[in-house]
Structure 1
Amino acid sequence: MPTQKPAPRTPRTSGPKRPRQPAAGELPTREQLLEALANSDDIKGKRDLAKVFGIRGDMRRPFKAMLAELEGEGVITRTRKALRRTAALPAVTVLDIPTDADPENLHAYPAQWNPEEGDPPRVTVLSGRDARVVPGPGDRILARIDAGEAEVPVYTAKAMKILDKPRRGQIGIVRLDDEGARLIPVDRKQKEMRIPLGDLMNAGEGDLVEVEVKLSGRLMIPRAKVTAVIGNPMSEGAISLIAIHNLEIPFRFPPAVIRESEEAKEATLKGREDWRDLPLVTIDPYDAKDHDDAVYAEPDTDEKNPGGHIVYVAIADVAAYIRPGTALDREAYLRGNSVYFPDRVVPMLPERISNDLCSLKEGEARASLAVRMVFDKGGHKLSHTFHRVLMRSAAKLSYQQAQAAIDGRPDDKTGPILEPILKPLYAAYAVMAKARDQRGPLDLDLPERKIILDDKGMVKDIRVPERLDAHRLIEEMMIAANVAAAQTLEQKKSPLLYRVHDVPSSEKLMALRDFLGSLDISVKKSDAVRASDFNGILAQARKAGNVEQVSEMVLRSQAQAEYSAENYGHFGLNLERYSHFTSPIRRYADLIVHRALVKAMGFGDDGLSDNEGLKLPGIAQHISSTERRAMLAERETADRLLAQFLAGQIGARFEGRISGVTRSGLFIRLRDTGADGFIPASTLGQDYYRFEQEQQAMIGDRTGEKFTLGDNVTVRLLEAAPVAGALRFELLSEGVRGNPSSAKRSGKRPSSSYGPKGRRKR
């Protein structure tokens, strides 16, 4: 579109106001078009506008495009053949729903509004049974607007799409130098900027700040202006602050939420079964502060079920304290889940709820939703029933405590309960494990490292916690309880939030087959795969000695688990129906399932409301996104802590493994720490390396030297950037010698190739 130049105004002494005119031969600006529509009653449509602005010849097409763009944005509207400027909200616009909006009666305001036009209009957000998009408090939506028939518009909206909200501002770390100050962005894709001394807002060396970016001078150089000082994460031992602010994770509870939590009263026996004499126990990590699940098992004395077991799982009754529409509920929905960092937890619920009233503390009566499950000697569930109870935990145990007792090393606490409680629990788990193995869930069992911090919040140690039967026992009993919740709600025809995991896509399966073929591992060619098929692949890899390579690719082939109001099964667990019921203290999804059970079972008046049931698709979308945000924040924080830990070891050699291969280089995961870093393809060696996607490898043109996903390598640390959480390595190992690049031999043009000393070959 030609560059627009505003035309000079022509003064008039009387008569209708004449629209401002563009220079001869130029298109009018958007402002001139809108001014003409607003001020001239003679302009009825496109032809009138064209005549007013002298549109002819080659100008017609861009002129029509400009009108279509304005109409598409809702800035102008068409009534039959007449065009007019929209008086207020366009027919389709972006709305923001306040975080404190009533979920039962949502309202919103325009995301963009000129304050000179007065207060923004309040828009009622409608959602019926047939709504495809169901938003909630805090969401930004693209919506279709109806102004009604009245002279003064009464706006209602139907959501078309839930949009991502733009970040408030850029954040980074302040570094002072001889020239003043500069900003080190936390986003590694952004560049450093200078901060004028007058724009520091009292920020000091190392402070984490939020800034707005201004362009200055003829060269439009970006400069930062500090708008908020967040704190000094390094000195405070709180590197997680970077991720919290960068990803805009709510971490301070509003006063109304704290007030509601402090006013909450302990639940009583009214409307509940008394399970206080049932010796349920909690088994958690040694440093857990909240305990939302307790278990107990006993042999089944029914003669019709020889060798069978009865398993009880009691879960904190969070629904009794978090009622729909309250400030507590709105904040829990907004957060979606708790976020766990090495140095802190950002909880979904205030401490009064999560660590006190809803924590199944040893020796204290606590409200819970419980399920009683009967299993046969093969571990297959015969029946289950749900109960709303008052229980009392008989013991608070760590995984290590429980396992040590079973392994013959009981302590003062586990000794007295070994025979009556722990051994029956493990006996029940043993039969449940038989059914699990028969079901064949995906068995990747990848090691997870735990970062241990010192008193200053810096990395002290990195450990891979031992995987114990105590962990598997709790996991298997929680899975069984989650399945039981989904089954009951389906039987009751209740709305339900499923935890779903889709089958791998055809494209990912094809890429996996190509890779496995390069390792001579056989795999069936049908897309109708089951989790057990992947277990067979992993078994072949263990025999061949390349299980780490294959595990990495199998993991990449998987879809991401999410929440959904529609069921399509859980591929990884090999289950037809699955929900999340067992962690309502830290997951909003579980709270919704609890409310659904309360209503379906007639347990009280604090169950799922009809309106909540209609909004499950939107709730599922929102909490799936907050879960992904939490995972990203946890991963970013671990990267920053490990980069800080290794920053003093520049030049040191490390053993690692190639964890990713791309056109631009190799990703390396260090064996001892699990830290991730990068080797640019241009630094690999004295050859031209091409990325071969089928083999997940970089292969040299002349030598055939190959670096493949999963290869063990030795690297040297060249650079560590703690703020960005980035490491850069130099490769010291030689690759496997083989045939020269297949792309070169076949004459195919590579998507990318790199030569020695950083020269890129085209």
Structure 2
Amino acid sequence: MARKPNAPPPALPSREAIRRFIRESPGRVGKREIAREFGLDASQRVELRDLLKDLAREGEVAPAGHRRFRAPGRLPEAMVVQVTGTDPDGDPIARPVEWEGDGPPPMILMRPEPRGVPALAPGERVLARLRQIVGNKYEGRTLRRLTDEPGRVLGVYQPTPQGGGRIVPTDRRSRAEWRVPPGEDGAAQPGEIVLATPLPSTGYGLKPARVVERLGNVGDARSVSLIVIHTHEIPNDFPAAALEQAEKARSVGADGRTDLRDVPLVTIDGEDARDFDDAVFAEPDGEGFRLLVAIADVAHYVWPGSPLDRAARLRGNSCYFPDRVVPMLPEALSNGWCSLRPNEDRGCLFVEMRIDAAGRKQSHRFGRGLMRSAARLTYTEVQEARDSGRDLGLPVPALYAAYRLLLAAREARGTLDLDLPERKVVLDDAGRVVSVTPRPRLDSHRLIEEFMVLANVAAAEELERLHQPCVYRVHAPPSEEKLEALRSFLRTLDISLPPGNQLHPRDLDRVLRQVGGSEQAALINEVMLRSQSQAAYATENIGHFGLALARYAHFTSPIRRYADLLVHRALVRGLRLGPGGLDDDEPAQLADTAEHITATERRAALAERDAIDRYLAAFMADKVGTVFAARISGVTRFGLFVTVADSGASGLVPVSTLPDDFWFHDEATQTLSGRRTRIEFRLAQEVDVMLSEASPVTGGLVFHVLQGAGPGAARERGRPRRR
């Protein structure tokens, strides 16, 4: 309706009214649609624009193209998606390539490809038109394939009597087998792990595929990490040019370097470490200490734009599995010239720091040096020497004395120190799991961590002083939504947090200390972890919330992290320490590189967890029917995730196996409650479970919760029992 002449314009709609209108609109919304809906005129467009900018900045609406918006969490009408698996009918399931919302990304059920076109396979990216079906589910239709090559299917080949065969995917997200037509098996043998590419589909039923590569027998225990490497698309082979460049590497000279060979620097690592990229030294300095942290000079060997550099950037970081390492750099460097082996001259970048009696850093100085490690020590060896008072003839007492000051400074700063158990999978020579043991948390581990944290802080400060670009390690505070969910959960346990949304890490750590040693400790540590945002690399500094640091950069592991190599190059350029610094083109690319290496880091973490899950599934395969003491590690509407106390193996308890009831999932309290039985399962609750299924191929474990046997009964008996 037109407004009467000289009538005052209507008031701007409220923030809630705009949010509701955008949420209920089927597509993207701009100022024109909002103005038309609320009868606004041209004189109010500036106010409306500012209001929309505020809403977008605060995350209450999401930008969706030029001056257009959509509800936060809702996907646009078209976007790039990646296929992650298949449904039971063989149709592809995808996820958004970019997802910044809270919670899991939406599920996209892709429509089948037209007849005669190869089916989409896991790993492929397409531009898809999306239509919201219900809640967090969308239907997708391929507009354009974006991957240069067809997707790959990784699975176990089994021949069929009528010729050809089937491929059973190794990825739990792929719920349908693939059909191998006669003549397309690539001479694969029964039980072999194969890679296959989809063939044009000719109708309904299982999708056809052609075997293109044979990777070994699924019965080989070492095939586990091979499956994971291919599943997560981790680059495993170096280009010939990169290998050739690494093989030509030679030792560094002393020219232009500070000679540190008389300083008794030592490396302290795990017993199974193969490369040593950091060394430490400490000596008293007045009421404080003088510290030296020396790091392998990877920048001397890996220059910007070189074949080695391109290969290292592509990987982003090294990946560690129980039976192998997929290194960021070829072995000639990672285990050779860039490894600080004892009694061998090595080039290094070093930082000399002085701390006062309160553990606060008073000064730092960076340089390029030549060092000779006095000893290769292990965490266990150093800890035993410290506990027994045994003199190793090395500066271990000074290292521990300096560590105590650094620890006091950390506690005064107030950091978040989550107590999360880690497991170590031990394999025999044949690659079979022989034990799964808790990874110890020694003071010697913490000592090295504190030295490295201080060096990383110094690196960030130095790059800012030099006005050099810096790739920061950033960790954002918990989002408002996650913080409110954490408050709601803690209130159920009569635990409160200070008011307001600007909490300090010490506020969260105070809760952990309050419940330390109690039955609630594991539960609260788990929920606290889930409330945290993920750390990332970025060129814009927002600080590191968990460490309570205003600036922080990774400097100490350039052999295995590309971020550290970039920091080294920036220091070399800023301090004019010689060749190998950032070149003129790199600063403009750092933001993209930071985003890339954040993604490769998360890919590696997923792959490493996936490998351990599969090894544990193989370890548990002969224990079907055994009862274990376990703890609930996840609560969802479709069931419970449980973690076995002894081994750390995790699996699913499907809701269908629980007593017949209507089960209500309360996300705030992390509980699953039966309306009729009044049974309640909660996060971190101790339960007895029986293993009902174990699939080493996919790493999947399925358990049943035992009713009638009290929680923890299996633990009280001292060992698992078989039914």
Deviation (angstroms), 1:220 = 4.5
Residues 563 and 624, structure 1, Cα contact 8 Å, conserved in 2 = yes
Instruction: Give the match for residue 386 of structure 1.
Output: 366
3-state SS of the aligned residue for 2:464?
helix
Q: Which consecutive unaligned segments of at least 5 residues does structure 1 have?
A: 1-71, 74-138, 143-162, 301-305, 738-762
- Relative distance call for 1:736 and 1:554 in structure 2 (3 A) is farther
Superposition deviation, residue 221 in structure 1: 3.5
User: What's 2:420 paired with?
Assistant: 446
Equivalent residue for 1:334?
314
Q: Distance in 2 between matches of 1:667 and 1:231?
A: 32
User: Tell me, what secondary structure is at the counterpart of 1:239?
Assistant: helix
Residues 233 and 240 in structure 1, CA contact (< 8 A), matched pair in contact too: no
User: Which residue number in structure 2 is paired with residue 398 of structure 1?
Assistant: 378
Q: Is 1:312 aligned to residue 295 of structure 2? A: no
In terms of mean alpha carbon deviation, does 192-201 or 362-371 score higher? 192-201
The aligned runs of 1:239-318 (5 Å cut-off) are 239-300=224-285, 306-318=286-298
Give the secondary structure class of the aligned counterpart of 1:667: strand
User: Residue type matched to 1:680 in 2?
Assistant: P
Quickly say closer, same or farther: Cα 1:689–1:517, change in 2 above 3 A.
same
- SS at the partner of 2:459? helix
Deviation at 1:736, TM superposition (A): 10
2:235, 2:319 → 1: CA distance? 10
Tell me which of 170, 173, 189 is aligned to 2:173: 189
The one-letter code matched in structure 2 to 1:387 is G
Offset at residue 684 of structure 1 (A) = 1.2
Q: Which residue of 1 aligns with 2:60?
A: none
Deviations 1:12-54 (A, max 9, x none): xxxxxxxxxxxxxxxxxxxxxxxxxxxxxxxxxxxxxxxxxxx
Name the amino acid aligned to 1:329.
Answer: D
**Aligned-residue offset at 1:225:** 2.0
Letter in 1 for 2:703: F
Instruction: Provide the C-alpha distance between the structure 1 equivalents of 2:202 and 2:294, rounded to a whole number of angstroms.
Output: 65
347 and 441 in structure 1: CA distance in 2 versus 1, 3 angstrom threshold: same
The answer on whether the counterparts of 1:310 and 1:373 sit within 8 Å (CA) in structure 2 is yes
The answer to whether the Cα contact below 8 Å between 2:538 and 2:595 also exists between their aligned partners in 1 is yes
Distance 2:208 2:389 in 1: 63
Q: Which residue of 2 aligns with 1:45?
A: none
Residue identity in the other structure for 1:479: V
Q: Distance in 1 between matches of 2:503 and 2:149?
A: 39
Q: Give yes or no for contact 2:688–2:709 (8 Å, CA) kept in 1.
A: no
SS in 1 for 2:229: helix
Quickly say closer, same or farther: Cα 1:260–1:583, change in 2 above 3 A.
same
Contact 2:177–2:206 at 8 Å: present in 1 too? Answer: no
658-667 vs 183-192, greater mean Cα deviation: 183-192
- Give the partner amino acid of 1:331: A
- Selected match of 1:696 from 652, 662, 670: 670
- Displacement of 1:431 in angstroms is 1.0
- In structure 1, what residue type is equivalent to 2:672? M
Which letter does structure 2 place at the counterpart of 1:453? L
Give the deviation of 1:536 after TM superposition: 1.4
Gaps of 5+ in 2: 1-77, 80-123, 128-145, 712-723
Q: Give 2:638's aligned residue.
A: 664
- Flag the 1:677–1:416 CA change in 2: closer, same or farther, 3 A: closer
Aligned to 2:561: 587
Q: 1:174 aligns with which of 151, 157, 174?
A: 157
Report the AA paired with residue 291 of structure 2. V
Aligned AA for 2:290? I
SS at match of 1:353: helix
Query: Aligned to 2:421, what secondary structure does the other structure show?
Result: coil
The count of corresponding residues between Structure 1 and Structure 2 is: 570
Cα contact 1:715–1:732 (8 A) shared by 2: yes
Matches within 5 A, 1:515-594: 515-542=489-516, 544-594=518-568
Task: Return the offset for 1:446.
Answer: 1.1
2:101 corresponding residue in structure 1: none
Taking the aligned partners of 2:324 and 2:162, their CA distance within structure 1 comes to 36
Structure 1 residue identity aligned to 2:256: G
* Residues 597 and 216 of structure 1, relative CA distance in 2, 3 Å threshold: closer
Judging changes above 3 Å, is the alpha-carbon distance between structure 1 residues 559 and 165 closer, same or farther for their aligned structure 2 residues? farther
- Describe the superposition over 1:641-672 as per-residue Cα deviations: whole angstroms up to 9, x where unpaired: 11111011111101111111111111111111
Change (3 A) 1:614 1:735: farther
Aligned counterparts, 1:363-382, within 5 A:
363-382=343-362
8 Å Cα contact 1:215/1:221 also seen in 2: no
- Report SS of the residue matched to 1:198: coil
Moved more, 558-567 or 536-545: 536-545
Shift of 1:541: 2.5
Tell me, in whole angstroms, the C-alpha distance in 1 between the residues paired with 2:417 and 2:221: 40
Letter in 2 for 1:318: V
Secondary structure class of the residue paired with 2:577: coil
Residue pair 1:707, 1:735 contacting (<8 A) in 2 also? no
AA matched with 1:276: R
Secondary structure at 1:610 match in 2: coil
Aligned amino acid, residue 656 of structure 1:
A
Give 1:328-727 correspondences, 5 Å limit.
328-408=308-388, 410=390, 415-417=391-393, 420-542=394-516, 544-727=518-701
1:199 to partner: Cα distance:
1.6
Q: Is the 8 A contact 1:707 1:736 kept in 2?
A: no
- Contact kept, 8 Å, 1:500 with 1:561, in 2: the verdict is yes
CA distance in 2, matches of 1:458, 1:241: 14
Q: Which amino acid aligns with 2:422?
A: E
| Contact persistence 2:269–2:377 (CA under 8 A) | yes
Q: CA deviation at 1:465?
A: 2.4
The separation in 1 between residues aligned to 2:702 and 2:125, in whole angstroms, is 38
**1:130-209 aligned within 5 A:** 168-176=151-159, 178=161, 181-190=165-174, 191-209=176-194
Q: CA deviation at 1:703?
A: 3.3
Q: Which moved more, 1:676-685 or 1:381-390?
A: 676-685
Query: 1:667/1:388 Cα in 2 relative to 1: closer, same or farther (>3 Å)?
Result: same
TM-score with structure 2 length normalisation? 0.76
CA RMSD, aligned part only? Answer: 2.2
Matches within 5 A, 1:29-48: none
- How far residue 590 of structure 1 moved from its aligned partner, in angstroms, is 0.3
Is the Cα–Cα contact under 8 Å of residues 666 and 678 in structure 1 kept in the other structure?
yes
Find the residue that maps to 1:537 and give its secondary structure.
helix
What SS does structure 1 have at the residue aligned with 2:292? strand
Q: SS in structure 2 opposite 1:594?
A: helix
Q: Which SS does the other structure have where 1:324 is aligned? A: coil
Closer/same/farther in 2, CA of residues 547 and 236 from structure 1, 3 Å limit: closer
Structure-2 change in CA distance of 1:383 and 1:495 (3 Å): same
- 1:152 is matched with none
Show CA shifts across 1:486-545 (max 9, x none): 000001111000000000001111111111111221222311111111111212333652
The match for 1:48 is none
Query: Matched residues, percent identical?
Result: 49
Secondary structure of 1:407's counterpart equals: helix
Determine the C-alpha separation between the residues in 2 that align with 1:603 and 1:200: 57
Larger Rg: 1
- For residue 735 of structure 1, report the CA deviation from its aligned partner: 11
How far apart in 1 are the matches of 2:700 and 2:213? 25
Q: 1:196 to 1:598 in 2, by over 3 A?
A: same
- Residues 141 and 577 (structure 1 numbering): CA distance in 2 closer, same or farther, change over 3 Å? farther
Distance between the aligned counterparts of 1:252 and 1:491, measured in 2?
A: 39
